[in-house]
A and B are shown apart, each in its own frame.
Chain A
Amino acid sequence: MRSVSVDLNIDPSLQIDIPDALSERDKVKFTVRTKTTLPVFQKPEFLVTRQHEDFIWLHDTLVETEEYAGYIIPPAPPKPDFDAPREKMQKLGEGEGSMTKEEFLKMKQELEAEYLAVFKKTVAVHEVFLQRLTSHPAFSRDHNFQVFLEYDQDLSVRRKNAKEMFGGFFKSMVKSADEVLISGIKEVDDFFDQEKTFLVDYYNKIKDSTAKADRMTRSHKNVANDYIHVSACLCSLAIEESTALKKYLLSLAELFEKLRKVEGRVSSDEDLKLSELLRYYMRDIQAAKDLLYRRARSLADYENSNKALDKARLKSKDVQQAEKQQQDCCEKFELLSKSAKQELTSFKGRRVSAFRKNLIEMTELEIKHAKNNISLLQGCICLLKN
């Protein structure tokens, strides 16, 4: 999962990881560890415990900070969701009577592994969020970020205060900015024009691909689970069998048990290297889109200030004020545009390397699994024919 976003956590002056996490009934408690050489921190190494809501608070404060308007704000990690494995575990418990003991144990193991996988993924995605911040020159110096990393008490009080202060102002602005963007503000810069077209289209496509990849991964998992049941049934048949078929059935049962492990790995590799990759970049693209919205907003402000200046000049009233205003807007806009261009360019680079790395790794793993399957199958066929 770390490979989803490349080149993180390489700066020794500030290194963050989540070495540990605890899953309680309804929440996950992450242990965030910081290793740093920066003087702004009190100690060179320290740990704090944070919840998912703390991460969201941090993300939101970054979004609300006007200084950062020209940056792509790393996407907030999604809420830990253990509903799916929990439901399946419950269903399994209900169906316990209809399976053999071994079958039940294996299914239980599978579900526990699934639960663990969800857990690992959520830890990874929270970790990557923090690591994105450390690798960014501006974010790594953010005061709230430092508080997040260092403050050794519960952050929940701060979270409440923040909500009261900002009230999600910027967030709602960003949401409605969709119309601003699409309503055709005249774009003077080719680069941003192309980016806009690209990102809007790409976002829709990658959202679709993520969903389809998820379904494909789940189907693989289902096939792997079916092999468990087939193997168990073959075993039961073999026990009752007294003819030469017994050996066949037992070998086949054993084979299916081995095959299902391989199939399970195919599924989880696909999940981590394809589905998770797509999902992560889908959110990143959304973050890039948000940046474009903010720029478009800034452009709108700039254009409005121009109009106001013209009006002021006409009426010869408050001209200096209007001039100042227009100057400010112009500066802001140009600064934002410059920074946005940089961000979007490096974003593309990041995306391309991450895709390349993960897709190649996934394919290599699938080839390995196919080879594994072939040797298992051929071994069994050999055994049966002799």
Chain B
Amino acid sequence: MAAEREPPPLGEGEQTDFRELEDGDDLFTSTVSTLESSPSSPEPASLPAEDISTKSNGPKAAELLLDDDREDLFAEATEEVSLDSPEREPILSPEPTPAITPVTPTALVMPRVDSHTMSIPSMFDRNQEEIEEEENGDMFDIQISVSDPEKVGDGMNAYMAYKVTTKTSLSMFSKNEFSVKRRFSDFLGLHSKLATKYMHIGYIVPPVPEKSIVGMTKVKVGKEDPSSAEFVEKRRSALERFLERTVKHPTLLQDPDLRQFLENSELPRAVSTQALSGAGILRMVNKAADAVNKMTIKMNESDAWFEEKQQQFENLDQQLRKLHTSVEALVCHRKELSANTAAFAKSAAMLGNSEDHTALSRALSQLAEVEEKIDQLHQEQAYADFYLFSELLSDYIRLISAVKGVFDQRIKCWQKWQDAQATLQKKREAEAKLQYANKPDKLQQAKEEIREWEAKVQQGERDFEQISKTIRKEVGRFERERVKDFKSVIVKYLESLVQTQQQVHLNLLPFCA
């Protein structure tokens, strides 16, 4: 029946907003988000809000690294670009000039600097070819696997160590294949760093699994039961997906913390995450979002795209949650089916033993064997239901949470800009008053303050435009990934169902023979 409701022919990415994002070009642009084209760009009207000249590389970069105050970061920009409001279509920038190495923007983009984790990225040696490779749509040659969960230590101080293996041909890594041991709090630490660095400027950081006191306690206590094995497997799988999604993201891939996580044999223990979970980080980063929501002044949205998208994500969130609930019920019932089939199989075997008619006794024993095999199949299917279908949905529910967070960050950014404008206005009024008060030093100070706040207003506007641009790109990327992900998982899931049915069929045949 669905066939009659053929959706309008929608090629991929046919939405006007994202047409440009089909090309790999934009991916690279996102990497150099703050470095977009030099003033010699042929399309002056579509220049990005930010422009950091080549002069800001090198030593300046180092200076900036230690600067805690984000606002001053871009004050160093010596070249000003016309601040036309960004057009609907995301900007297509040409190839960046070779002098601009991709790494620097990352450094610039990270405003909140934990000096102890800051390391000068060694990505200066990334060459143009690699960059081009990456332009071709998230096809970075890097594969991550999380495997071999191992219990380390005893009692309540015990923890699970996971082996994180990276296979890559990217030259930003020192080797082609390497592995390290990481524990869960290391992953939480990495996620927290990435979220803190990138979410407030509009990047969607993939979600990390939640802490689970119940789950981990069982493991620590050393219960070797199937439920704790399941818990560890669920976690391992989720951690793997977290890393896989993170390295697929062109900007996050270049983050030094990520590289350190993947490469360094020893990591400083992420203590602060003991109290924080993935959701906790999101909450922290989005703290301002609550303040924003409580504001009576609604943002003057000049760009309907954001409103539409927000609504769309809200709907998607609701629908995914409903579907997730149904699938969880399915997993539960399928597990029950498996258990009940196993119980029946045992009962049928006993009945067969009890049966005094030889042929019937044999038939009942056969039935019992068949049912036993079928119960195994049901259990495997329940795993597929869960690991393929259910986990995909819960990943996306968390991802959408991150997306919503990023939208809220934009509102916060806008508010900051508005506040700067209000302050500037006040300063101007104050200066005007002082004009007639004959207090030259105060007047001088007022004039300085005005200059300061003018710069802040400009910065605020630039930031807002930048975050808007980044979000558009990120959303485009998210949508593409979502379509890809769902398609591939749906097909895998259906194949698992086929597999199960074929096995059931095979097992039933001899009974009828």
Q: Would you give the 0/1 interface string for B274-288, flagging 1 where the beta carbon is closer than 8 Å to chain A? A: 000000000000000
Q: Determine if B344 and A213 form an interchain contact, defined as CB atoms under 8 angstroms apart.
A: yes
Chain A residues within 8 Å of B, Cβ to Cβ = 194, 198, 201-202, 205-206, 208-209, 212-213, 215-216, 218-220, 222-223, 226-227, 229-230, 232-234, 236-238, 240, 242-255, 259, 348, 351-352, 355-356, 359-360, 363-364, 366-367, 370-371, 373-374, 377-378, 380-381, 384-385
CB distance from B76 to the nearest CB of A (A): 41
User: With A223-B330, A240-B316 as given contacts, are A245 and B486 in contact (CB-CB < 8 Å)?
Assistant: yes
User: With A222-B336, A251-B2, A348-B357 as given contacts, are A381 and B494 in contact (CB-CB < 8 Å)?
Assistant: yes
- B interface residues, how many (CB within 8 angstroms): 60
Residues of B within 8 A of A380 (CB): 494
A213–B351 alpha-carbon span in the complex (Å): 12
Is the CB of B201 closer than 8 A to any CB of chain A? no
CB distance from A285 to the nearest CB of B (A): 11
Q: Determine if B367 and A236 form an interchain contact, defined as CB atoms under 8 angstroms apart.
A: no
CB distance from B314 to the nearest CB of A (A): 10
| Beyond known contacts A212-B340, A238-B2: 6 more, CB 8 A cutoff | A230-B330, A240-B319, A259-B497, A374-B498, A377-B501, A380-B494
Q: Determine if B334 and A223 form an interchain contact, defined as CB atoms under 8 angstroms apart.
A: yes
Residues of A within 8 A of B486 (CB): 245, 248-249
Is the CB of B508 closer than 8 A to any CB of chain A? yes
Q: Determine if A216 and B340 form an interchain contact, defined as CB atoms under 8 angstroms apart.
A: yes
A339–B364 alpha-carbon span in the complex (Å): 29
A230–B334 alpha-carbon span in the complex (Å): 14
Q: Determine if B348 and A209 form an interchain contact, defined as CB atoms under 8 angstroms apart.
A: yes
Q: Which residue of B lies closest to A267 (CB)?
A: B337
Q: Determine if B367 and A359 form an interchain contact, defined as CB atoms under 8 angstroms apart.
A: yes
Q: Which of B340, B491, B504 contacts A215 (CB 8 A)?
A: B340
Q: Determine if B347 and A208 form an interchain contact, defined as CB atoms under 8 angstroms apart.
A: yes
Q: Which of B11, B333, B360, B505 contacts A222 (CB 8 A)?
A: B333
Is the CB of B99 closer than 8 A to any CB of chain A? no
Q: Determine if B512 and A363 form an interchain contact, defined as CB atoms under 8 angstroms apart.
A: yes
Q: Which of B333, B355, B359, B490 contacts A202 (CB 8 A)?
A: B355
Residues of B within 8 A of A385 (CB): 491
Q: Would you give the 0/1 interface string for B478-495, flagging 1 where the beta carbon is closer than 8 Å to chain A? A: 010011001100110011
CB distance from A271 to the nearest CB of B (A): 13
Most B CB contacts (10 A, CB to CB) among A243, A363, A370 go to A243
Residues of A within 8 A of B333 (CB): 219, 222-223, 226
Q: Determine if A377 and B344 form an interchain contact, defined as CB atoms under 8 angstroms apart.
A: no
Q: Would you give the 0/1 interface string for B358-369, flagging 1 where the beta carbon is closer than 8 Å to chain A? A: 011001100100
User: With A202-B355, A246-B7 as given contacts, are A373 and B344 in contact (CB-CB < 8 Å)?
Assistant: no
Is the CB of B270 closer than 8 A to any CB of chain A? no
Q: Which of A237, A244, A351, A378 contacts B10 (CB 8 A)?
A: A244
Residues of A within 8 A of B334 (CB): 223
CB distance from B460 to the nearest CB of A (A): 33
Q: Determine if B11 and A216 form an interchain contact, defined as CB atoms under 8 angstroms apart.
A: no
Q: Determine if A359 and B363 form an interchain contact, defined as CB atoms under 8 angstroms apart.
A: yes
